[in-house]
């Protein structure tokens, strides 16, 4: 009865608190007594001591299973009660049936585009350079099959190809679903663990064709015999059977380089997964798949395809294909990662450096530094449906923490089988020069591949961050320590990565960007000097979990020459004078030019960088700003010649903050004879400067033209000069500005009106 392979037959799931779940597929005519007999064969509990309960009712041994089948479901759930299962006798823990185990994975791991990413990760772990997905509508023959039950899996399927060949470890690993190969090799971040098993959302019978073997998996254990979860054929030793079952193996011929000759030669130089779509509900899943749902998977993948290859070391191309029922095949979409056109060896050399650092860490070689390597990646996507091609350029810095950098990190690495590796990617082609920031860009978290989009994967950084992070069970988000999980080692590991390895890699990325701009050797390096500020984190935008990056990052960064002046020099923060002046103001150009000609290094930075400078510049160093006080100091020291028009603009600026006491000695007071007098604290009448009025025009005072304020100066300047004359705030007045007195007939002053 258990060998019956009719997919329409019901499943009986027997539950008990000690023996777990037992599942049997039986004909409708089977009686309850027969189910008890099956339980006896597996558990040795006498049939007479068993009691089966369904919906609260004890079942009579003569009741047929068919009478219990619910409408719309092929599964019957029954509870087992038995005296022999309590107290003395057989005792021990059991594992759930394979189907139940996989169903639990599917519940925790939602379907969607992440399934395709997991298959890309498997290919990356295997060292493949290319991955192809193809939806195949072909209906293959059903005459020569392993069994008639295989006919339902000869139709439409999703294929996944990569150009690496399965190793013996891979064949073993894909059968060990409860244990990822990651435990043996930390670099294999997703090898056939929960990620691969997410394909059961799509199919009931996944198969693999790689090297010399073709293997099929059957978690329902109905196709290949009782308790048999799969079947494998060797192209050399089983060629007779493969040749006889022509229809059974036809789906593996003529796809991605697999020809009939390939099978006859006994080896396929790649790996081909075939996932026949589930066309009717099964015990594993009620999820039905069709062409529309597969294309939805493709669209989901395309949404962030431009970043999928960003941090991968091996896979450089992923494409989506469609094969029509008539055999016509066409590519729908493709994404490729290209090398730096000006330095083809840059990326390979960087990966070699990182590989050596990883080996050193695994071998316990002491090092208290982070080994960083930076390279450029050009990502191109081609959408054949819309006929659109998009290109983005990234600067990627990867870092590997040394053993000895942090003792707690090392201890966790040994326990978790993790490696302290980090990647930071800066988008060079998305920088908005007007805003000095990445336009419409939101930094996300990666664990080699992008984590599913959503609030949890957003960092608030202007870069993407990838790391060997500890993830939640469903591999959809990074673990963080919570009140009830404060000692979670994976969560603690993540927090230590953030304060140790990430800041150093981030620092290296920014410094490398500046270096490349300075060298100008990379013609394809599109970032401008001001664009480098777009790589600086904005303290007001970064998510709380990621804020610990800021202190160590800016501690190192603000000691370097990271400020670009208006004359395109790179200097340290304490060497710069920062301008926040309105670039449209008439005075701005003159003020900046005067400061520069006086030897000052003037720079202009975005508001976000200004926030950083004010928040993280510590110690004796200060952030100098262009302001009237600074300009007054420079004018007093420099005393170099400028034009009359420039002096008027400088005067307007130094008056703008009403710091009148600091005007003394500045030769900026404009006179009618087109000369400029110095502001003075003298109270002698001979030093007085006069401002004419309607009542007392300058024409009434011949011979004093050189003592009058220049006519036609801006009203705002004149108003400020009057305010300066009226001010009595300081003991020494900065200048003496007077309205001329009315003359008597004898030419002597009749009355002084001192302002």
State the DSSP H helix or E strand holding residue 611, giving kind and residue range, or none if neither.
Answer: helix 607-616
Using the predicted structure, report yes or no on whether residue 492 has a pLDDT greater than 50.
yes
Q: Which two three-digit tokens encode residue 346?
A: 């840059």
Distance from C-alpha of 286 to C-alpha of 73, rounded to nearest angstrom = 9
pLDDT for the residue numbered 571 = 95
Are 689 and 736 in contact by the 8 Å Cβ rule? The answer is yes
pLDDT for the residue numbered 729 = 32
What's the residue count for the chain?
Answer: 755
Using the predicted structure, report yes or no on whether residue 751 has a pLDDT greater than 60.
no
State the DSSP H helix or E strand holding residue 630, giving kind and residue range, or none if neither.
Answer: helix 628-638
When pLDDT is averaged across residues 345-349 and rounded to a whole number, the result is: 92
Q: What does the pLDDT look like over 513-548, one tens digit per residue?
A: 999 998 875 455 778 888 899 999 999 999 999 999
Distance from C-alpha of 408 to C-alpha of 52, rounded to nearest angstrom = 54
Q: How many CA atoms within 13 Å lie on the side-chain side of 557?
A: 29
Distance from C-alpha of 713 to C-alpha of 601, rounded to nearest angstrom = 30
With a pLDDT cut of 70, the percent of the chain lying above it is 86
pLDDT for the residue numbered 182 = 46
Using the predicted structure, report yes or no on whether residue 183 has a pLDDT greater than 80.
no
Q: Where are the alpha helices (DSSP H) in 44-97?
A: none
When pLDDT is averaged across residues 497-513 and rounded to a whole number, the result is: 96
State the DSSP H helix or E strand holding residue 42, giving kind and residue range, or none if neither.
Answer: helix 32-43
Reduced to 3 states, what is the DSSP secondary structure of residue 473?
Answer: coil
Q: pLDDT averaged over the chain?
A: 84
Reduced to 3 states, what is the DSSP secondary structure of residue 703?
Answer: coil
Distance from C-alpha of 709 to C-alpha of 698, rounded to nearest angstrom = 10
110 vs 187, residue with greater confidence: 110
| Position 735 confidence tier, pLDDT thresholds 50, 70, 90 | very low
**Helices 586-597 and 644-655 meet at what angle, rounded to 10?**
100
pLDDT for the residue numbered 524 = 58
Task: Label each residue of 412-462 as H, E or C.
Answer: HHHHHCCCCEEEEEEECCCEECCCCEECCCCCEEEECEECCCCHHHECCCC
Distance from C-alpha of 492 to C-alpha of 479, rounded to nearest angstrom = 9
Task: Label each residue of 518-579 as H, E or C.
Answer: HHCCCCCCCCCCHHHHHHCCCCCCCCHHHHHHHHHHHHHHCCCCCEEECCCCEECHHHCEEC
Are 459 and 443 in contact by the 8 Å Cβ rule? The answer is yes
pLDDT for the residue numbered 472 = 83
Distance from C-alpha of 336 to C-alpha of 206, rounded to nearest angstrom = 27
When pLDDT is averaged across residues 535-564 and rounded to a whole number, the result is: 95
CA 683 → CA 75, 419, 705, distances in Å?
107, 77, 20
pLDDT for the residue numbered 710 = 85
- How far out from the chain centre does Cα 116 lie? 18
Distance from C-alpha of 599 to C-alpha of 175, rounded to nearest angstrom = 72
Q: What does the pLDDT look like over 675-731, one tens digit per residue?
A: 888 887 766 666 677 777 777 777 777 767 677 888 888 888 888 888 887 764 333
pLDDT for the residue numbered 391 = 92
CA 372 → CA 350, 402, 420, 507, distances in Å?
8, 11, 12, 10
Residue that the structure tokens 């326990």 belong to: 415
Lowest mean pLDDT among 171-175, 563-567, 608-612: 171-175
Distance from C-alpha of 92 to C-alpha of 86, rounded to nearest angstrom = 12
pLDDT for the residue numbered 1 = 37
Provide the sign of the torsion angle of the four alpha carbons 165, 171, 172, 174, taken in this order. positive
The closest of 445, 446, 429, 421 to 505, measured between CA atoms, is 421
Q: Which two three-digit tokens encode residue 748?
A: 């002597």
Distance from C-alpha of 81 to C-alpha of 695, rounded to nearest angstrom = 116
Going by the DSSP 8-state scheme, the letter that residue 678 receives in this structure is: P
Considering 193-197, 341-345, 746-750, the range whose residues carry the highest mean pLDDT is 341-345
Are 52 and 32 in contact by the 8 Å Cβ rule? The answer is yes
| Position 74 confidence tier, pLDDT thresholds 50, 70, 90 | confident
When pLDDT is averaged across residues 334-349 and rounded to a whole number, the result is: 90
CA 370 → CA 422, 423, 454, 500, 539, distances in Å?
10, 12, 30, 9, 24
Sheet strands (E) in 339-427: 366-367, 370-383, 388-401, 403-404, 421-427
Burial degree of 21 (CB within 10 A; 0-12, 13-18, 19+): middle
When pLDDT is averaged across residues 615-624 and rounded to a whole number, the result is: 78
Distance from C-alpha of 161 to C-alpha of 169, rounded to nearest angstrom = 19
pLDDT for the residue numbered 165 = 93
Reduced to 3 states, what is the DSSP secondary structure of residue 376?
Answer: strand
Lowest mean pLDDT among 88-102, 154-168, 272-286: 88-102
When pLDDT is averaged across residues 252-280 and rounded to a whole number, the result is: 84
Using the predicted structure, report yes or no on whether residue 193 has a pLDDT greater than 50.
yes
Domains observed in the chain: 11-94 (3.10.20.90), 100-334 (3.30.565.10), 339-545 (no CATH), 654-755 (no CATH)
Q: What does the pLDDT look like over 116-135, one tens digit per residue?
A: 988 999 899 899 999 999 99
CA 483 → CA 39, 487, 497, distances in Å?
45, 9, 20
pLDDT for the residue numbered 87 = 44
Q: Which two three-digit tokens encode residue 575?
A: 């060497």
Q: Which two three-digit tokens encode residue 109?
A: 């791991």
Reduced to 3 states, what is the DSSP secondary structure of residue 96?
Answer: coil
Backbone angles phi and psi of 408, in degrees to 5: -65, -40
Distance from C-alpha of 376 to C-alpha of 378, rounded to nearest angstrom = 7
Lowest mean pLDDT among 220-229, 373-382, 389-398: 220-229
Q: Where are the alpha helices (DSSP H) in 228-345?
A: 239-244, 246-249, 260-265, 291-303, 305-308
Other beta carbons within 10 Å of 596: 15
pLDDT for the residue numbered 736 = 41
| Cα dihedral 552→558→562→565 (10° resolution) | 150
pLDDT for the residue numbered 742 = 39
Using the predicted structure, report yes or no on whether residue 245 has a pLDDT greater than 90.
yes
Using the predicted structure, report yes or no on whether residue 138 has a pLDDT greater than 80.
yes
The closest of 214, 167, 220 to 192, measured between CA atoms, is 167
Using the predicted structure, report yes or no on whether residue 88 has a pLDDT greater than 50.
no
Residue that the structure tokens 């062409």 belong to: 291
Distance from C-alpha of 683 to C-alpha of 582, rounded to nearest angstrom = 37
């Amino acid at each position: 009865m258990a060998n019956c392979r009719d997919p329409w037959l019901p499943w009986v799931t027997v539950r008990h608190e000690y023996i777990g779940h037992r599942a049997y597929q039986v004909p409708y005519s089977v009686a309850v007594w027969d189910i008890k007999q099956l339980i006896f064969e597996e558990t040795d509990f006498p049939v007479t001591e068993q009691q089966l309960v369904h919906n609260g009712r004890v079942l009579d041994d003569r009741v047929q299973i068919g009478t219990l089948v619910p409408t719309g479901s092929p599964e019957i759930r029954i509870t087992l009660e038995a005296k022999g299962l309590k107290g003395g006798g057989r005792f021990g823990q059991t594992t759930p049936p394979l189907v139940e185990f996989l169903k639990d994975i599917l519940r925790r791991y939602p379907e969607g585009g992440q399934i395709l990413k997991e298959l890309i990760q498997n290919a990356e772990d295997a060292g493949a350079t290319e991955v192809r997905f193809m939806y195949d509508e072909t209906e293959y023959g059903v005459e020569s099959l392993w069994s008639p039950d295989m006919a339902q899996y000869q139709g439409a399927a999703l294929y996944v190809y990569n150009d690496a060949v399965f190793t013996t470890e891979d064949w073993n690993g894909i059968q060990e679903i409860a244990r990822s190969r990651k435990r043996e090799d930390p670099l294999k971040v997703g090898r056939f663990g929960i990620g691969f098993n997410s394909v059961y959302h799509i199919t009931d019978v996944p198969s693999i064709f790689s090297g010399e073997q073709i293997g099929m998996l059957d978690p329902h254990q109905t196709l290949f015999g009782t308790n048999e979860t799969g079947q494998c054929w060797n192209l050399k030793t089983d060629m007779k059977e493969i040749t006889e079952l022509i229809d059974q193996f036809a789906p593996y011929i003529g796809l991605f380089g697999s020809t009939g000759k390939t099978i006859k030669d006994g080896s396929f130089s790649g790996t081909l997964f075939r996932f026949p779509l589930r066309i009717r509900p099964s015990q594993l899943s009620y999820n039905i798949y069709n062409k529309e749902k597969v294309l939805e998977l493709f669209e989901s993948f395309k949404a962030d395809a431009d970043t999928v290859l960003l941090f991968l070391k091996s896979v450089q191309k992923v494409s989506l294909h469609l094969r029509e029922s008539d055999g016509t095949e066409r590519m729908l979409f493709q994404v490729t990662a290209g090398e730096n056109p000006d330095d083809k060896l840059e990326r390979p050399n960087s990966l070699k450096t990182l590989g050596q650092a990883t080996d050193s860490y695994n071998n316990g070689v002491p090092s208290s530094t982070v080994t960083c390597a930076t390279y450029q990646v050009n990502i191109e996507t081609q959408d054949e449906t819309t006929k659109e091609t998009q290109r983005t350029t990234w600067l990627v810095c990867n870092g590997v923490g040394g053993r000895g950098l942090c003792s707690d990190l090392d201890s966790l690495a040994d326990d978790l089988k993790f490696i302290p590796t980090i990647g930071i990617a800066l988008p060079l082609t998305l920088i908005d020069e007007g805003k000095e920031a990445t336009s419409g860009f939101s930094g996300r978290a990666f664990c080699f591949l992008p984590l599913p989009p959503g609030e949890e994967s957003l960092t608030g950084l202007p870069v993407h961050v990838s790391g060997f992070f500890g993830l939640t069970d469903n591999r959809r988000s990074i673990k963080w320590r919570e009140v009830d999980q404060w000692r979670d080692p994976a969560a603690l590991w993540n927090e230590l990565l953030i304060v140790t390895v990430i800041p150093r890699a981030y620092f290296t990325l920014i410094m490398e960007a500046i270096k490349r701009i300075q060298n100008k050797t990379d013609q394809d390096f599109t970032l401008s000097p001001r664009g480098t500020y777009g790589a600086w984190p904005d303290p007001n935008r970064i998510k709380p979990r990621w804020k610990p990056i800021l202190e160590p990052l800016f501690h190192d960064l603000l000691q370097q020459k990271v400020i670009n002046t208006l004359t395109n020099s790179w200097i340290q923060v304490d060497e710069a004078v920062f301008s926040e002046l309105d670039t449209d103001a008439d005075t701005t150009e003159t003020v900046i030019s005067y400061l520069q000609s006086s030897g000052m290094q003037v720079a202009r930075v975005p508001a976000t960088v200004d926030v950083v400078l004010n928040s993280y510049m510590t110690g004796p160093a200060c952030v100098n700003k262009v302001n009237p006080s600074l300009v007054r100091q420079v004018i007093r020291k420099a005393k170099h010649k400028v034009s009359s028009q420039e002096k008027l603009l400088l005067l307007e600026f130094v008056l703008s903050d009403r710091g009148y006491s600091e005007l003394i000695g500045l030769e900026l007071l404009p006179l009618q004879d087109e000369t400029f007098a110095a502001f003075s604290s003298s109270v002698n009448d001979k030093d007085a400067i006069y401002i004419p009025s309607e009542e007392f025009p300058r024409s009434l005072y011949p011979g004093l033209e050189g003592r009058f304020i220049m006519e036609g100066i801006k009203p705002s300047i004149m108003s400020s000069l009057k305010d300066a004359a009226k001010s009595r705030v300081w003991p020494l007045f900065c200048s003496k500005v007077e309205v001329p007195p009315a003359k008597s007939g004898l030419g002597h002053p009749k009355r002084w009106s001192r302002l």
